[in-house]
Amino acid sequence: MAENGIGVSVRRKEDKRYLIGKGNYTDDINVVGQTYAIFVRSPHAHATINGIELAAAETSAGVVAVFTGDDLAADGIGPLICGVTVTSDDGEPHRAPAHPALAQGKVNYVGDHVAIVIAETLAQAKDAAEKVEVDYGILPAVTDTGSAADEGQQQIHEAAPNNICFNWPLGDKEAVEAAFASAHKISRLDLINNRMVTNPIEPRAVLGEYNTGTEEITLHLTSQNPHLHRLVLSAFNQLAPEHKLRIVAPDVGGGFGAKIFIYAEELVVGWACRKVNRPVKWTSDRTEAFLSDAHGRDHVTSAEMALDKDGKFLALRVMTTANLGAYISTFGTMVPSYLYAFLFAGQYTTPLIYSEVKAVFTNTAPVDASRGAGRPEATFMLERLVDVAAADMGLDPVEIRRRNFIPVDAFPYQTPVVQCYDSGDYHAALDKALALADYDGFGARAEEAKTRGMLRGIGLSSYVEACGIAPSAAVGQLGAGIGLWESAQVRFNPTGNVQVFTGSHSSGQGHETTFAQLVTELLGVPIEDIEVIHGDTAKTQFGMGTYGSRSMAVGGVAIAKACEKLIAKGKKIAAHALEAAEGDIEFADGNFTIAGTDKAMSIAEVAFNAYVPHSYPEDLEPGFDENAFFDPLNFSFPGGTHICEVEIDPETGVVEIIKYSAVDDFGKLINPMIVEGQVHGGITHGVGQALLEACHYDSEGQLITASFMDYAMPRADNVPSFDIDYAPTDPPDNPLGVKGCGEAGAIGAPPAVINAITNALGVKHIDMPATPEKVWRAAQGAA
């Protein structure tokens, strides 16, 4: 192990600039001649646009221009696209209504984009935006997920009859029905997976500049995948030829999925800066973020488990209605289909699974990936149903899981829902978690709580997720429009320091530290001499970005492969310089050595020789700089068990998490401190969904939780100190032996918390978020 290499909890290199106020976020960037943009948004959830009067706005003080959807259409710009095709049960692709960047003839949710106002100052843009007069013809709104496709509902898009985007079946329906017919017991559960607003601390922003000399557009924006932004804006939205479009994503203040997608604001600002030949800047305020950022989750599900007399799972049947919002977002179709139903096996040997997903349109903001993206929804359904099944069979929740776990010697394990799990030891993770949580001592703690009039509960969640997204061949067969490999360039400068260019991008994960640790481990270069560069399409080679816990599992492997190429080239250079056979050269700890001797060259000396090739192999190119790509053969499959212990005051319904224990399998840990931080953040995210966060629209389509006064985010006093441990296994398909870690907490936490609450209350189910009012009502009902 290098001093600051793999397995060391190195403090984050990037934190210094944040701590001294030198972070550089999109809204920090200002340029000469900059103008400011405000979007006129629909106040109605569903309405025709009968006319737009712009005269008062156009003559308002400081106004540079006002544009509508007609202006974009005249220039052939747009519409926004969905990048993944899902085949419906009729054999046809999903129904894809047009999604104009500025509304044309109709608006479909509160916050829909109607016009853009550009002015010399932000205040002038805001004043002028209020002078845009829109004649709306108000239509009934559809906001309820469960009834959106009911007969007689208001039609939202002509292209999507009955408001259905797709009906997607998976599995052997007849075999599952036969298993249910012969089952000893059938456990059933109806549940809702509550809609969330992702709420990264930094709102979205974009600054567009147009250079008339080079005819190049530069967009500074808040993106998790700059190259993907450039590709889509160029190839599908016709903004500019790809080589004339530069995307710069500087420091990004959190993403959690919400900054993956291509949004209307980015396209419109990019077009408008060329139209007015001035830099144009837009920064979302928090209300705009609530209204127009892609939301997450929002499922209504009925699930059933068939069991034999010993509590073994025979078959699983799931029916889900998934809300896509008013339009299909960039990956909106993928989340409730492939990222959801492909995880229904969980950690269990359930031999038969059948599911149907009905994806519907509503007059609400588009729904797409939010931390975990489909995996939290699958795990919540399954782990809640497993607890219900345990109660139905009179078994302890631990015991029913043990009886159904995939054994460690069964890996790689082919599930009945497409995925082939790489590695796992679910029994080991469970045993460690039970010890960490002092599960055996829970009974005594529950009795003690009763003496104080309190209710104690304990809940488990044994999850598995698919991440390290993704094998290009697999996602291509599923209908994705892109490959999901990753790339890297590792470049030595003549003086021996190293620049690492990665197609991954950080939004707080610590890439500048962990990627540097990987290089110092492999090449022996001091970590302070390594710079990680990302986020600028003009500097970095094409890459696919950061989402799906893929940065180290895919991007890190690309970096490692580039390092391997440098070592191979370095051996040739060292052999020539040391007058030895290439086969006699060994590399370790940053030095090339002739085997069995003390004759050596440092890698810095080799790099200098490569750039000053006075004595150099004749058939070898100068320079010390290598590129590599990595396309994984399989997903990686982290898993683990989380255990939550709660105490409830039945008089108030207030839930306190007393103890939270998590044991995860992330494979090899590059930086244990950063991994633990990711787990902490993920658990807190999941606790927020379980206890606090709820995005609500009223029947007219008004978002009634559009501020932090109404939308409750988790705070420090909502979570305890977490007890974290690991049960690692070695994934055979990953050359570094790593699995993703950033989403696991958000996947494992919600069912663990709700299972603990239902255990404390003695009730079958309570929907998220388990607010004090809900819990109090359940407690009174149970009493």
Q: What is the pLDDT of residues 178-191, one digit of tens each?
A: 999 999 999 999 99
HSE-CB at 318 with a 13 A cutoff on CA atoms is 35
Of the candidates 288, 731, 253, which has an alpha carbon nearest to the alpha carbon of residue 466?
731
* Confidence check: pLDDT of 755 > 90: yes
Percentage of the chain lying above the pLDDT 70 cut: 100
Enter the tokens of residue 279.
């830099």
pLDDT tens readout for residues 706-726: 999 999 999 999 999 999 999
**CATH class of the domain defined by 15-21+485-630:** alpha beta
pLDDT tens readout for residues 207-243: 999 999 999 999 999 999 999 999 999 999 999 999 9
Tell me which amino acid residue 39 is.
F
Q: What is the CA radius of gyration of the chain?
A: 27
In this structure, how many other beta carbons lie within 10 angstroms of the beta carbon of residue 79? 20
Determine the average pLDDT of the residues in 369-377: 96
* Confidence check: pLDDT of 481 > 90: no
State the pLDDT confidence band at 482, using cuts at 50, 70 and 90.
Answer: confident
Q: Are 124 and 63 contacting, i.e. CB atoms less than 8 angstroms apart? A: yes
Q: Are 349 and 405 contacting, i.e. CB atoms less than 8 angstroms apart? A: yes
**Three-state secondary-structure class, residue 722:** strand
DSSP 84: B
Instruction: Scan for tokens 């990019």, then name that residue.
Output: 270
Q: pLDDT at position 504, please?
A: 94
Q: pLDDT at position 3, please?
A: 87
- Residue 329 to residue 296: CA distance in whole angstroms: 11
Q: pLDDT at position 619, please?
A: 92
Q: E strands along 392-451, which residues?
A: 413-414, 420-421
Of the candidates 688, 686, 667, which has an alpha carbon nearest to the alpha carbon of residue 735?
667
Of the candidates 771, 768, 770, 705, which has an alpha carbon nearest to the alpha carbon of residue 364?
705
Tell me which amino acid residue 137 is.
G
In this structure, how many other beta carbons lie within 10 angstroms of the beta carbon of residue 97? 16
Can you give the residue ranges of every domain in the chain? 15-21+485-630, 31-139+201-254+259-292, 372-466+635-782
Q: pLDDT at position 532, please?
A: 97
Percentage of the chain lying above the pLDDT 90 cut: 97
What separation in angstroms does the CA of 592 have from each of 184, 259, 269, 606?
A: 67, 43, 52, 8
Q: Are 303 and 201 contacting, i.e. CB atoms less than 8 angstroms apart? A: no
Determine the average pLDDT of the residues in 486-498: 97
Q: pLDDT at position 715, please?
A: 94
Contacts of 400 (CB under 8 A, 6+ apart): 311, 386, 389, 390, 393
**Three-state secondary-structure class, residue 628:** strand
Q: Do the domains spanning 15-21+485-630 and 372-466+635-782 agree at the CATH topology level?
A: yes
**Which of these ranges, 113-127, 335-349, 475-489, 683-697, has the smallest mean pLDDT?**
475-489
Enter the tokens of residue 447.
């009795």
Of the candidates 36, 100, 110, 98, which has an alpha carbon nearest to the alpha carbon of residue 68?
100
* Confidence check: pLDDT of 515 > 90: yes
- Residue 336 to residue 360: CA distance in whole angstroms: 11
- Residue 132 to residue 145: CA distance in whole angstroms: 33
Determine the average pLDDT of the residues in 731-738: 96
Q: For the domain 31-139+201-254+259-292, what is the CATH superfamily, name and number?
A: Aldehyde oxidase/xanthine dehydrogenase, a/b hammerhead (3.90.1170.50)
Across the beta sheet with 486-492, the strand order is 530-533, 498-502, 486-492, 625-630
State the pLDDT confidence band at 488, using cuts at 50, 70 and 90.
Answer: very high
φ, ψ (nearest 5 deg) of residue 201: -65, -30
* Confidence check: pLDDT of 782 > 90: no
Calculated CA dihedral for residues 149, 150, 152, 156, nearest 10 degrees: -20
State the pLDDT confidence band at 154, using cuts at 50, 70 and 90.
Answer: very high
Q: Are 718 and 656 contacting, i.e. CB atoms less than 8 angstroms apart? A: no
In this structure, how many other beta carbons lie within 10 angstroms of the beta carbon of residue 85? 15
* Confidence check: pLDDT of 480 > 90: no
pLDDT tens readout for residues 532-585: 999 999 999 999 999 999 999 999 999 999 999 999 999 999 999 999 999 999
Q: Are 507 and 496 contacting, i.e. CB atoms less than 8 angstroms apart? A: no
Determine the average pLDDT of the residues in 728-755: 97
Enter the tokens of residue 442.
């829970």
pLDDT tens readout for residues 14-66: 999 999 999 999 999 999 999 999 999 999 999 999 999 999 999 999 999 99
pLDDT tens readout for residues 409-466: 999 999 999 999 999 999 999 999 999 999 999 999 999 999 999 999 999 999 999 9
Label residue 110 left, alpha or beta by phi (over 0 means left) and psi (-120 to 50 means alpha): beta
CA 373 to chain centre: 6
pLDDT tens readout for residues 646-704: 999 999 999 999 999 999 999 999 999 999 999 999 999 999 999 999 999 999 999 99
Looking at domain 372-466+635-782, its CATH architecture is 2-Layer Sandwich (3.30)
pLDDT tens readout for residues 73-114: 999 998 999 999 999 999 999 999 999 999 999 999 999 999
DSSP 327: S
Q: pLDDT at position 233, please?
A: 96
Q: pLDDT at position 1, please?
A: 59
Please count the residues of the chain: 783
Determine the average pLDDT of the residues in 104-127: 98
Q: Average model confidence (pLDDT) for the chain?
A: 97
